[in-house]
Homo-oligomer: A and B are copies of this chain.
Amino acid sequence: MPLVVMKFGGTSVDGIRRIRNVAAKVQVETSAGNNVIVVVSAMAGRTTELSETVGNISRMFDAREFDAVVSTGENVTAGLLALALQDLGVPARSWQGWQVPVRTNSAHGAARIENIRTESIVTKFAEGMKVAVVAGFQGITQDGRISTLGRGGSDTTAVAFAAAFAAERCDIYTDVSGVYTADPRLVSRARKLNRVSYEEMLEFASLGAKVLQTRSVELAMHNKVRLRVLSSFCDGPGTLVCEEEEIMEQRAVSGVASSRNEAKVTLISVADRPGIAAAVFGLLASADVNVDMIVQNISEEGRTDITFSCPVEHVSKAEIALNEVLESGAVRYRSIVADTEVCKLSVVGIGMRSQSGVAAKMFKALADDGINILVIATSEIKISVLVDRKYMELGVQALHDAFQLDRC
């Protein structure tokens, strides 16, 4: 019997009425003759609430206990959804991570799935069960402790189950109806994409379009899992994330991504000798600063400026780390300049590989609206720029128009 994986996020299971709604959506699949594995998140806000309680108990907490506590949110939802399905007459039961089991490494709080045992669920399907409800976001380590996968972990759980069970497809239900050409809150004419390639989705995900977590897209790409993003709250086919070859018409640009809370940090007049960049960014990595774009310019003789971007909330720990290294003498530079009032605009498209002139068109569109570009970075299928934050909405709109993304 064909098997489908469905995943429902926190807002989709927030309260009894919504859980019943989810059960009804699952029943549509079982009525169509599919077996279903449903992966659920905790109810909206519950994971944050539990995390905060842990933080209030202990500042330097034991991540193993953190995981034991926060994983309970998904367990509640899994049990409730199994009950709601049974109430509709659909044979269902819940599985917690350790019951499957979902084996992970021991990186508590950000564990990676190592393998998923399929036997217990397969046996129940063979006995006539139609739906396995799995608590997302969690697993069990080699020494029997509960682990969690970190933010967005339930998406990863869903994709990993789809891969392990060779599911027909993996449907990620969320509170938006798919992947858009731009954030619809910024661009009223933003258009839902019917298909998007794994590579593009990876860029969108890493650029802050909060539809799917980067790790889950990587995992889907690696295992060729057909991923669909669709809405829990309204009907519609959503967006299919698939291989490039399945997308007929490849436009140069598929969408415009934007990320509001960026900061730009420049180290002025760094002694320019081999190993300096490695020293600086190794240090920032140890300080858990999430560095995104990196640009190095030549300035005076033998000295250079290094600029990087990071989330606004990482600036102070970056400055602390960089000051420490200056005092220790490991890296020399004249000063640090941080600009916390910038944002990132990116155009993404697999068609960019074969079509030229995308960068020029992008820069012209921004210049026409008087938007100054502070930093530029490019990849094979993406061009990103930092600009003043006040221009974010204007810039996204300008790029959306320039690449005519409102037209099919």
A residues apposed to B, CB below 8 Å: 16, 19-20, 50, 53-54, 56-59, 61-62, 64-66, 68-69, 72-73, 75-76, 78-80, 82-84, 86-87, 93-94, 96, 98-99, 120, 144-146
Contact = CB atoms under 8 A, between A and B. Distances in A.
A123 B248 CA distance: 61
Per CB-CB distance, the 9 closest pairs between chain A and chain B, nearest first, are A69-B79, A72-B72, A68-B79, A58-B83, A58-B87, A65-B79, A57-B83, A65-B82, A65-B83
Given A58-B83, A58-B86, A86-B58, A50 B76 contact: yes
A84 to B, nearest CB: 5
A146 B94 CA distance: 11
Given A65-B83, A75-B68, A76-B69, A16 B57 contact: yes
A61 B82 CA distance: 10
29 contacts: A16-B53, A20-B57, A50-B76, A53-B76, A53-B80, A54-B79, A57-B80, A57-B84, A57-B87, A58-B87, A61-B83, A61-B86, A62-B93, A64-B93, A65-B79, A65-B80, A65-B83, A65-B86, A65-B94, A66-B79, A68-B75, A68-B82, A69-B76, A69-B79, A69-B83, A72-B72, A75-B75, A99-B144, A120-B144
A328 to B, nearest CB: 31
Given A72-B76, A93-B64, A83 B54 contact: yes
Contacts of A76: 50, 53, 69, 72
A58 B16 CA distance: 10
A160 to B, nearest CB: 21
A86 B62 contact: yes
A80 B51 CA distance: 11
A62 B80 contact: no
A93 B50 CA distance: 18
Contacts of A83: 54, 57-58, 61-62, 65-66, 69
B65 A93 contact: yes
Contacts of A93: 62, 64-65
Given A65-B83, A78-B68, A83-B65, A56 B96 contact: no
A72 B146 CA distance: 13
A59 B50 CA distance: 29
Q: Which of A56, A75, A80, A96 has the most CB of B within 10 A?
A: A80
A144 B117 CA distance: 15
Given A16-B53, A19-B57, A57-B87, A69 B80 contact: yes
Contacts of A145: 99
Contacts of A82: 62, 65, 68
Contacts of A72: 72-73, 75-76
A108 to B, nearest CB: 12
B54 A80 contact: yes
Nearest to A56: B16
Contacts of A19: 57
Q: Which of A57, A58, A69 has the most CB of B within 10 A?
A: A57
Nearest to A73: B72
A69 B73 CA distance: 9
Nearest to A20: B57
Contacts of A54: 79-80, 83
A137 B26 CA distance: 32
